[in-house]
Amino acid sequence: MENLIFNQLGSCPSSVKTSDIGSAPFEIKSASAMDMSNSDFARTATSFRNFVSQKPDSQFPAKAGRYHLYISYACPWASRCLAILILKGLEKAISFSSVQPLWRKTKESDEHMGWVFPDSDTEVLGADPDRLNENPSLDLYPPNLQTIIDDTNEWIHDDINNGVYKCGFATNQETYDVAVKALFHALDRCEETLRKQRFLCGNTLTETDIRLFVTLIRFDEVYAVIFKCGKRLVREYYNLFNYTKDIYQIAGLSSTVKMDHIKQNYYGSFPSLNPLEIIPLGTNIDYSWPHDRNRFSSEIPLRRDCARRELEHASLVCELSLILLEIFGRLF
């Protein structure tokens, strides 16, 4: 999905629609990078390969106030960028806004559908009309882990991030069977890895964890249902579920998850999979509940409100334990 645009402020129109991006080397018919013409669900490579850099000759210099990030809370790819923006404490340097959760016509005269902005703050809750680094010690791509990060990113993307789509859009049983087998083999692999360490590449939070998180947080409510990935839910994996809660509770990351946007998009955007656009009731999992990942040492530079939250959760567990002991003591 081409859901993410870094707009250089002052160099683009204030209201950016997919149809207004003259430099984009593609024609959007369904606002998607998906090729549904074959049963293997081929995804075209992203068109955006530029980097914001502090190098003197950088085409996109690192400068506060120069860029604006457009995201869709429904899209895991875009949410991954927002998660890293918040982890890095860049909200003051790079502003962001969210589009509506469902694709609409970007212009009345357009045939294609794309991400659009609401006309007001109250039209769609959480979507915004179109209108400096505080955590420099956080390195999500540290030099000593780059090899393992690159290797892990490859199979996480192919078998999990894109794997759920391969399952959902498989056009025959054989293709689905191959995709779902690869998906759950990869999830089992993550479960085993997380049994021994806090994060995927060790006890340091990396971009690989954000890559996996945005799929895990959508899995039980969306992918297990509409993409036919219900063989086993994330909450049924002991380590994966606690890991998901651990990352969700890092300061600021919960704000990148808006389940109502996510469900509206997935259940309302694929008529071949859900023609009546019925949004099922979910389990409403509370990812703010305590996890056990603190049993591993961590090198993640948590922001203070997250550390305080972990202490509060630990205190809550102790209080609940005392209450249960008191109840059982009265019964017996």
> 258-289, pLDDT tens digit by residue?
999 999 999 999 999 999 999 999 888 999 99
Domain presence at residue 180: yes
How does pLDDT run across 204-243, given as a tens digit for each residue? 999 999 999 999 999 999 999 999 999 999 999 999 999 9
Residue 64 to residue 209: CA distance in whole angstroms:
26
What pLDDT band is residue 329 in, cutting at 50, 70 and 90?
low
| Number of separate domains in the chain | 2
| H/E element, 329 | helix 304-331
Whether 151 and 254 map to the same domain: the answer is yes
CATH code of the domain containing 220: 1.20.1050.10
The radius of gyration of the chain's CA atoms, rounded to the nearest angstrom, is 21
| Of 214, 245, 268, the domain-final residue | 268
Whether 216 and 316 map to the same domain: the answer is no
Whether 251 and 309 map to the same domain: the answer is no
Domain presence at residue 319: yes
Whether 203 and 156 map to the same domain: the answer is yes
Domain presence at residue 252: yes
Whether 158 and 230 map to the same domain: the answer is yes
- Both tokens of 124, joined, read 């769609």
Residue 22's pLDDT is what?
Answer: 33
Domain presence at residue 258: yes
What is 283-298 written as a DSSP string?
Answer: ----TTS--SGGGS--
Residue 235's pLDDT is what?
Answer: 96
How does pLDDT run across 136-160, given as a tens digit for each residue? 678 899 999 999 999 999 999 999 9
| Of 221, 248, 268, the domain-final residue | 268
- Tokens 């998850």 -> residue: 257
Whether 210 and 253 map to the same domain: the answer is yes
Chain centroid to CA 83: 7
Q: How many CB atoms lie within 10 A of CB 153?
A: 18
Domain presence at residue 246: yes
Distances (CA, A) of 87 to 80, 109, 140, 301: 10, 40, 9, 10
The C-alpha angle 245, 192, 198, rounded to 5 degrees, equals: 45
Torsion of CA 304, 206, 239, 243, to 10 degrees: 30
Domain presence at residue 191: yes
How does pLDDT run across 54-92, given as a tens digit for each residue? 888 888 888 888 898 988 998 998 999 999 999 999 988
Domain presence at residue 176: yes
Q: Which residues contact 54 (CB under 8 A, 6 or more apart)?
A: 61, 62
Whether 219 and 320 map to the same domain: the answer is no
Q: In which domain, by residue range, is 164 found?
A: 143-268
75 flagged as catalytic? yes
| Of 224, 252, 268, the domain-final residue | 268
What is 142-201 written as a DSSP string?
Answer: -GGGHHHHHHHHHHHIIIIITHHHHHHT-SSHHHHHHHHHHHHHHHHHHHHHHHHSSBTT
Domain presence at residue 297: no
The C-alpha angle 82, 87, 89, rounded to 5 degrees, equals: 95
Per the residue annotation, which of 67, 75, 167, 176 is the catalytic one?
75
Residue 3 to residue 115: CA distance in whole angstroms:
7
165 flagged as catalytic? yes
